[in-house]
Amino acid sequence: MLSERQRMILSAIVDDYIRSAEPIGSRSISKRGNVGFSPATIRNEMSDLEEMGFLEQPHTSAGRIPSQKGYRYYVDHLIQHGTLTPHELNVIKLFFAEKIDRMEQVIQHVASVLSSLTNYTSIVVGPEVLSTTLKHIQLVPLNESQAVAIIVTNTGQVENKTFTIPEGLSMAELEKVVNILNARLQGVPLLQFRTKLFSEVASELSRYASGHDKLLRELEKVVNKDEENRIFLSGTTNMLTQPEFRDVDKVKSLLDLLEAPPSLIRLVASSHQGGIQVRIGSENSMEAVNDCSLITATYSIGDQFLGTIGVLGPTRMEYAKVMSLLDHVSKNLAVVLGRWYG
Amino acid sequence: MLSERQRMILSAIVDDYIRSAEPIGSRSISKRGNVGFSPATIRNEMSDLEEMGFLEQPHTSAGRIPSQKGYRYYVDHLIQHGTLTPHELNVIKLFFAEKIDRMEQVIQHVASVLSSLTNYTSIVVGPEVLSTTLKHIQLVPLNESQAVAIIVTNTGQVENKTFTIPEGLSMAELEKVVNILNARLQGVPLLQFRTKLFSEVASELSRYASGHDKLLRELEKVVNKDEENRIFLSGTTNMLTQPEFRDVDKVKSLLDLLEAPPSLIRLVASSHQGGIQVRIGSENSMEAVNDCSLITATYSIGDQFLGTIGVLGPTRMEYAKVMSLLDHVSKNLAVVLGRWYG
DNA sequence: ATTAGCACTCATCTCGGCAGAGTGCTAACG
DNA sequence: CGTTAGCACTCTGCCGAGATGAGTGCTAAT
């Protein structure tokens, strides 16, 4: 569809525009060296590219900038894999050499590594609790009417929730229930926790304690830790250094989006299919990020999906660099977590 | 020091400027009605007030705006207590009528109530773990070398930390240690946790288990949950609607500050002395908030300090309203928490 | 002591002109 | 026929001049 020369020109324009953030003229492309044609020829090609929708002009007699379609073509066909600089590799290596202490810390730290190496905003979704197995359940009574339910997974994640003890359930009964739960459910993948809870355990439990059904329903909630708490951001203010966000109103609508976890989830959602995904501008289908691009990668152990790491930048973003960075980091993360989960 | 008339004029200027964000001229003060003097007279007074440092002029022949000293005088001597609107009272009442589930949720929710009612940014520091007492300690082994230490307080807060099991400590020994800890330390204020841990417990422990000192040092860390995790923000983007933050660079330095927990702590620190505190502009001693004011209130039970709630806005902020709001909310919060801790 | 009046200052707005960058078209060239 | 030089044209950004308007400071009258 595009001639070799057109591809070269489009590629050159995208590259230059990513660097300069300013419309690119025919002359500057010609002078670049790697395209051996005069400005006039390039102008003709540019005119064609614009007609086909790959370029656009802010106004007559400004240079051209890539359209969304242009970026898409660039990412799909023209991009050449970036290589990470020694410095970047080093930062990542150092990070992954650190001792893992708390899962949350790791995830938050991944986010900050990504944002500081890219100067964009990073969005990291931590591992789903559901993909782990149960290690231990504990109920700690606080007073006559309340207790804390604590669940420890095999990865060392701890979830807890305070709940009201159902009427007519004594301390002794409560203790029995916990013993049964631990005996029955240890090693169970949390994904199956709910089912097992209500099938196997419920029947056995009914012999010992009354009012246990309410209790079980509370326990269920502990496991259902909402996605919202698994999302970590870093470098949100990096966006403010991008020339496309000189305008406070734009900044506000973007930051408003980033501050609302539900919308963030919608933004990152549906990236489960593995590999590196690039969503450009309105492909994100959220008004506030219509001039942003989101690049995501997933990390998993074997074929068990764990979570997503992503970088959000202006559509004029360094696709090659970010893609290879995400690739690298997601693989490292998988390895480290694999060891940890192991 | 200031004549009655000067006080009236200063007060009028501050009030008007807070509303309009624009320099106030003598004419508009004169027309206000409550000061019965001609513009010329007011001009003379304004000139005096400027000489004394309460007002300043952006340029000759603009109106006057309050200086930092002017705001300070206003807050200290001129402010008249605001009353909350029925709507505001209602929002707060509804909020406090909700059932408390997790401490973190309450704190986060307080923050969002404050920011949405004021349209400024709110900063809330949750209750110190140290002010609570120990309810329960639990160690859950994950594998041969690692375990999770879990601490539950009488308020239902749960802290946890993964650590490496010291060499040469068997499971059985570990269990014994926990039993001793629970027997010895239940009901101990976390403030004394550390001392007791190393005095009373350590000696008893040395009879049962070797390598216990390392273990105790790990336990100590669980309690020392850093302040950083107790800070909650809400409405950071509200700042962007203020005309003084039309400039992206200003916004960036402010947001950078807000995103770094350590600096936030420094900002809110030293507000422990109870009552409502107002820190105006450079009284905050952090460059990025030199044109912001921070109003804080503390909440406590009896004379036990628990935490701080605060609102950060431009120096041109609605002091009266925010002060009465903070007063009201902090008292309600104390009551509710008192019932909860009770 | 207060106030009316007036000259003065300064920021902001608008407008025309000018320079610079870049295009589109045409005609010439190999 | 593809390529290129040349040129007219367009649009933005910038500068300076004038006009406007808000607000002051000073002086003199009440």
What does the pLDDT read at residue A57? Answer: 96
Please tell me the CATH superfamily of domain A86-129+228-341, with its number: GAF domain (3.30.450.40)
Amino acid (one-letter) located at A216: L
What is B130-226's CATH topology?
Answer: Enolase-like; domain 1 (3.30.390)
Average pLDDT over residues B242-249: 92
Rounded to the nearest integer, the mean pLDDT of chain A is 89
- How much of chain B exceeds pLDDT 70, in percent? 95
Report how far residue A226's alpha carbon sits from residue A244's, in angstroms, rounded to the nearest whole number. 34
Of A148, A150, A240, Cβ closest to residue B251: A240
Residue A220 has pLDDT above 70, yes or no: yes
What is A131-226's CATH topology?
Answer: Enolase-like; domain 1 (3.30.390)
What does the pLDDT read at residue A88? Answer: 97
Give pLDDT tens digits for A278-292: 999 999 989 999 999
Instruction: Give residue B245's pLDDT band: very low, low, confident or very high (50, 70, 90).
Output: very high
Same fold, A4-78 and A86-129+228-341: no
Give pLDDT tens digits for B114-128: 999 999 999 999 887
- Those residues of chain A whose CB sits closer than 8 Å to some CB in chain B are 101-102, 135-136, 138, 140, 142, 146, 148, 150, 152, 154-156, 158, 160-162, 236-237, 240-241, 245-248, 251-252, 255-256, 259
What does the pLDDT read at residue B36? Answer: 81
Residue B195 has pLDDT above 90, yes or no: no
Average pLDDT over residues A86-101: 90
Instruction: Give residue B317's pLDDT band: very low, low, confident or very high (50, 70, 90).
Output: very high
Q: Any idea what the Cα angle at residue B206 is, between residues B204 and B211, rounded to 5°?
A: 140
Instruction: Give residue B138's pLDDT band: very low, low, confident or very high (50, 70, 90).
Output: confident
What does the pLDDT read at residue B101? Answer: 67
Q: Is the CB of A202 under 7 A from strand D?
A: no
What does the pLDDT read at residue A267? Answer: 92
Instruction: Give residue B299's pLDDT band: very low, low, confident or very high (50, 70, 90).
Output: very high
Give pLDDT tens digits for A167-185: 877 888 888 888 888 988 8
Instruction: Give residue A146's pLDDT band: very low, low, confident or very high (50, 70, 90).
Output: confident
Quick check: B245 and A248 CB within 8 A?
Answer: yes
What does the pLDDT read at residue B227? Answer: 65
* Range of weakest confidence among A106-110, B82-86, B173-177, B258-262: B173-177
Q: Which of A221, A255, A258, A337 to probe the B interface (max B CBs under 10 A)?
A: A255
- Those residues of chain B whose CB sits closer than 8 Å to some CB in chain A are 101-102, 135-136, 138, 140, 142, 146, 148, 150, 152, 154-156, 158, 160-162, 236-237, 240-241, 245-248, 251-252, 255-256, 259
The gap between B65 CA and C4 C1' (Å) is: 26
Instruction: Give residue B130's pLDDT band: very low, low, confident or very high (50, 70, 90).
Output: low
Q: With contact defined as beta carbons under 8 Å apart, do A110 and A333 qualify? A: yes
Give pLDDT tens digits for B57-112: 999 989 999 999 999 999 999 999 989 999 999 999 999 998 776 777 889 999 99
What does the pLDDT read at residue B132? Answer: 78
Contacts of A155 in chain B (CB under 8 A): 142
What does the pLDDT read at residue A271? Answer: 64
For residue A148, the cross-strand partners are A140, A162
Three-state SS at A166: coil
Residue B212 has pLDDT above 70, yes or no: yes
Return the domain boundaries, chain B.
Answer: 4-78, 86-128+228-341, 130-226
What does the pLDDT read at residue B35? Answer: 76
Give pLDDT tens digits for A240-281: 999 999 989 999 999 999 999 989 989 988 767 778 999 999
Alpha helical stretches, state H, chain A: 4-20, 26-31, 39-52, 68-73, 86-97, 103-118, 171-185, 190-196, 202-208, 212-223, 248-259, 261-268, 319-341
Residue B163 has pLDDT above 90, yes or no: no
* Range of weakest confidence among A44-48, A72-76, B229-233: B229-233
Give pLDDT tens digits for B35-69: 789 999 999 999 999 999 999 999 998 999 999 99
What does the pLDDT read at residue A334? Answer: 92
Quick check: B246 and A246 CB within 8 A?
Answer: no
Residue B306 has pLDDT above 80, yes or no: yes
What is B86-128+228-341's CATH topology?
Answer: Beta-Lactamase (3.30.450)
Average pLDDT over residues A83-98: 95
What does the pLDDT read at residue B50? Answer: 97
Q: In the structure encoding, which two tokens stand for residue A103, read together?
A: 């899962």
Report how far residue B72's alpha carbon sits from residue B54's, in angstroms, rounded to the nearest whole number. 9
What does the pLDDT read at residue A101? Answer: 67
What does the pLDDT read at residue A342? Answer: 61
Residue B175 has pLDDT above 90, yes or no: no
* Range of weakest confidence among A296-300, B135-139, B281-285: B135-139
Of B158, B245, B256, Cβ closest to residue A148: B158
Instruction: Give residue B225's pLDDT band: very low, low, confident or very high (50, 70, 90).
Output: low
CATH architecture under which domain B4-78 falls: Orthogonal Bundle (1.10)
Three-state SS at B183: helix
Residues 6+ apart with CB under 8 A from B199: none
Sheet holding A158-164, edge to edge: A134-141, A146-153, A158-164
Which range is most confident: A190-199, A298-307, B148-157, B285-294?
A: B285-294
Percent of residues in chain B assigned helix, strand, coil, to nearest 5? 55, 20, 25
